[in-house]
Amino acid sequence: MSETEFDLVIVGGGPGGYVAAIRAAQLGMKVACVEKRGRLGGTCLNVGCIPSKALLQSSELYHEACHGFDDHGIEVKPKLNLDSMLGRKAKIVDELTNGIEFLFKKNKVTYVKGAGKIISASQVDVVDGEDKGKSLTTKRIMIATGSESTPLPGIEVDEKQIVTSTGALELSSVPKHMIVIGGGVIGLELGSVWKRLGAEVTVVEFLDRIVPNMDGEVSKVFQRTLKKQGIKFKMKSKVTGASKTAKEVTLTVEPAASGDAEEMKADVVLVCIGRRPYVDGLGLEELGVERDERGFIKVGSDYQTNVAGIYAIGDCTPGPMLAHKAEDEGIVAAEMMAGQKPHINYDAIPGVVYTFPEVADVGASEEKLKEAGIEYKVGKFNFMANSRAKANGYRDGFVKLLADKKTDKLLGAHIIGPAAGELIHELTTIIEFGGSAEDVARICHAHPTFSEAVREAAMATQDGAIHA
């Protein structure tokens, strides 16, 4: 093969694309990855998952120093250095993006810098960027271009006063008042960051509850917990317009159903009403690649589109818009191309909200089980009764397990509390292997740990938790 001939060309270097590239290379394919950002890692690493988690960690430590150290007998007077905090975040991003470039070199993946356009099932041209003018020929093409923030009609984003998650990660000062439009994961995480650093935060949500795809009981407790932290909520409301001056933004807000409009003022407005597939400039229309009514690329069980030789994974395809889902799809798609027979269990993909407390779930919610007519039993254990949580000063939250009433098969797990994003994986493993609640209850868990709350919840589905 020449330098421009490949077994697989991947368009998009985010979590799905770069992971697929490395796995395909490990399986013996000659791979190129075309990325127009100029840095690998996609939205997740550059302006999403990673920088937001860095700021969540920093802001949590700052808030704890301001409000929680006294309980531990530690007397300090913390001072916020926002420039330094943002600099730490940027350093982490740089280190990780450079790390992916190293992995590409290690695995002999060709990194092509620029915007790729698919000319045919065997050709990708670089139409902009550092490598503009290159034409790549290939046996297969994988689209992994991810997603972008969904715009809100009547609201013009400038990434200064009216921002998406991208702008919210780069604010030069702490807002006096931030309004977050949307009560989903991204809005609540970034709202939590700026609340901890001193902003007044108000969430405006169209529905009657936050994180509506999560278990209803968890959603209610989560909102109540965030209210205790000082975040305000305006539910069943929609934003229909915005006007700006040099110092503030005025939003027009109406009831979701009907009623009189009102005005709300803030110095920063964060628009987080969801994300949509990003496929601009790929040439999909000319090629006849089918998309659904929401713009997602349709794929089969092998992630191939209706055009033979063109595949798609991640946020630009239907399903949960999660970095780890995209990574798994990239690995599985590459392995299928190599003749292997991997699988993904879409019922065993965990979701996490990285606020404090964290919220995590996997499998079915009570609402989904009721809708499906499945009889189930509930086991629940509060962190208030967990010795490690009490020793660490964490009292809010619980572990909730849902098991089949007849077979005891674990169907769903829902956690709100400390380290929920880590604890959920034990239960993800059980669901993946088709295990039961009793299996969890029978496994010895170290004492004292947060994990004991998981075991106690499993015991609660049987004859009863010990420490409840």
Instruction: Point out the residues that are catalytic.
Output: 447
Contact partners, residue 95, CB within 8 Å, separation at least 6: none
DSSP class of 433: T
CA distances (Å), origin 135, targets 34, 60, 115, 259:
11, 48, 12, 56
For residue 448, is the peptide bond before it cis, meaning its omega torsion is within 30 degrees of 0? yes
Structure tokens at 149: 């923030």
- Scan for tokens 């964290």, then name that residue: 358
DSSP class of 298: P
Residue 244 identity: K
Phi and psi torsions of 136, nearest 5°: -110, 130
Cα–Cα distance measured from residue 354 to residue 53, given in angstroms and rounded to the nearest whole number? 7
Cα–Cα distance measured from residue 24 to residue 19, given in angstroms and rounded to the nearest whole number? 9
For residue 357, is the peptide bond before it cis, meaning its omega torsion is within 30 degrees of 0? yes
Rounded to whole angstroms, the maximal C-alpha distance in the chain is: 68
Beta bridge partners of 276: 148
Q: Do the beta carbons of residue 354 and residue 53 sit within 8 Å? A: yes
Instruction: Determine how many CB atoms are found less than 10 A away from the CB of residue 30.
Output: 17
Cα–Cα distance measured from residue 310 to residue 98, given in angstroms and rounded to the nearest whole number? 29
- Scan for tokens 């803030």, then name that residue: 266
How many Å separate Cα 279 from the centre of its chain? 19
In three-state secondary structure terms, 233 is strand
Instruction: Determine how many CB atoms are found less than 10 A away from the CB of residue 394.
Output: 18
Q: Do the beta carbons of residue 226 and residue 355 sit within 8 Å? A: yes
Q: Do the beta carbons of residue 178 and residue 191 sit within 8 Å? A: yes
Instruction: Determine how many CB atoms are found less than 10 A away from the CB of residue 287.
Output: 16
- Scan for tokens 């350093």, then name that residue: 91
